[in-house]
Amino acid sequence: MEFNVEIDRYSGFCNGVVRAVKRAEENLSGKENGLLYSLGAIVHNNSELERLAKIGLRSIDSTQMQSLKNVTVLIRAHGEPPKTYQIAKENNIKLIDCTCPVVLQLQKRIAATQGQIIIFGKKGHAEVNGLVGMAHSRDGGNVVVIENVADIDKVEPSEIDYSKPITIFSQTTKDPVEYRHVCQAIREKMHSPEQLTINDTICKQVVQRHSRLIEFAKNHSIILFVSGKESSNGQVLYELCRSHNSRSYQIESLQEIKKEWFTDGDSVGICGATSTPQWQLEQCATHLTQTLK
């Protein structure tokens, strides 16, 4: 079979994830039987997690962290709510804080905001939990998380009062176009639309990837999107590919690739999320070249 393969040069780890993985590797380097705890998966990608587990990185959840004392725990790029820092202090846990500077900035802005806050983000996502924790650390003022336009109608009147000022923030990895739609829908509900303050808090790296990925998806006859199914950013970017190229497939491992997806003369584009390591994109390209040709 004849085909071309191109890896999207803008795909792969974002700066925040690169920084967290590098800090974990540095901490474990040269240590035989080294062990470092990571609060939550350092990256939503099972292949990368397996690689890091082999050098001693062990993911734990917040309940497990509460039972640990005198150990070192890495805080991943998503950040954490204030409660986590409190537990670390009480349990004499040393933190390697890899909260992405962009997320940290967003947390500070939320902590400094008065009144009602809406967060456009994925409910239960680690970054969103951290942002909600920051909002709760203020003196008063409700906070509500909405995932999409449809969610707005599910908000109870006791949660948000549209006759009063509202400030909205977005999780850093959400879709910028959807954020505009959400803001517009909220504005239409406000008694005085000028009382809605919109903060542009989607990560610039994510915004740039959206426009570049659209071009990439259009320029290839078939797209292989490599990403963990748990990755929030992965879901958003994969849907973006699919909306511009109907032959887009999301895969987590090479075993999921099916020969019947491909036809002779295909131009195959390989891309991924901010949590997809470069080595996995390259591995995918090599696999195609070896098995389909």
194-223 positions binding ligand SF4, by CB under 6 A: 203, 205-206
**Separation between Cα atoms, residue 236 and residue 226, nearest integer Å:** 13
Stretch that binds ligand SF4, among 9-17, 32-40, 192-200, 244-252 (CB under 6 A): 9-17
DSSP state of 292: H
Q: Which of 38, 47, 107, 172 binds ligand SF4 (CB under 6 A)?
A: 172
Stretch that binds ligand SF4, among 86-94, 97-105, 155-163, 257-265 (CB under 6 A): 97-105
Which CB sits closer to ligand SF4, 107 or 116? 107
> 150 exposed, middle or buried (CB, 10 Å; 0-12, 13-18, 19+)?
exposed
- Write out 14-32 in H/E/C secondary structure: CHHHHHHHHHHHHHHCCCC
CA dihedral 246, 249, 250, 255 (to 10 degrees): 170
Stretch that binds ligand SF4, among 11-19, 26-34, 67-75, 248-256 (CB under 6 A): 11-19
Q: Which of 39, 57, 102, 166 binds ligand SF4 (CB under 6 A)?
A: 102
Which CB sits closer to ligand SF4, 129 or 173? 173
Can you spell out the DSSP letters for 93-105? -EEEE---HHHHH
Which CB sits closer to ligand SF4, 88 or 206? 206
**Hey, what are 58's tokens?**
């062990």
Nearest-approach distance from CB 14 to ligand SF4, in angstroms:
3
Which CB sits closer to ligand SF4, 248 or 274? 274
Query: Which strands make up the sheet holding 196-198, listed edge to edge?
Result: 143-146, 116-120, 166-170, 196-198
**Which residues are known catalytic residues?**
127
- Angstrom CA distances, 64 to 4, 67, 77, 95, 123, stand at 47, 5, 19, 15, 22
Q: Which of 24, 77, 134, 223 binds ligand SF4 (CB under 6 A)?
A: 77
Which CB sits closer to ligand SF4, 209 or 247? 209
Where does this chain bind ligand SF4 (CB under 6 A)? 14-17, 77, 100, 102-103, 172-173, 203, 205-206, 274
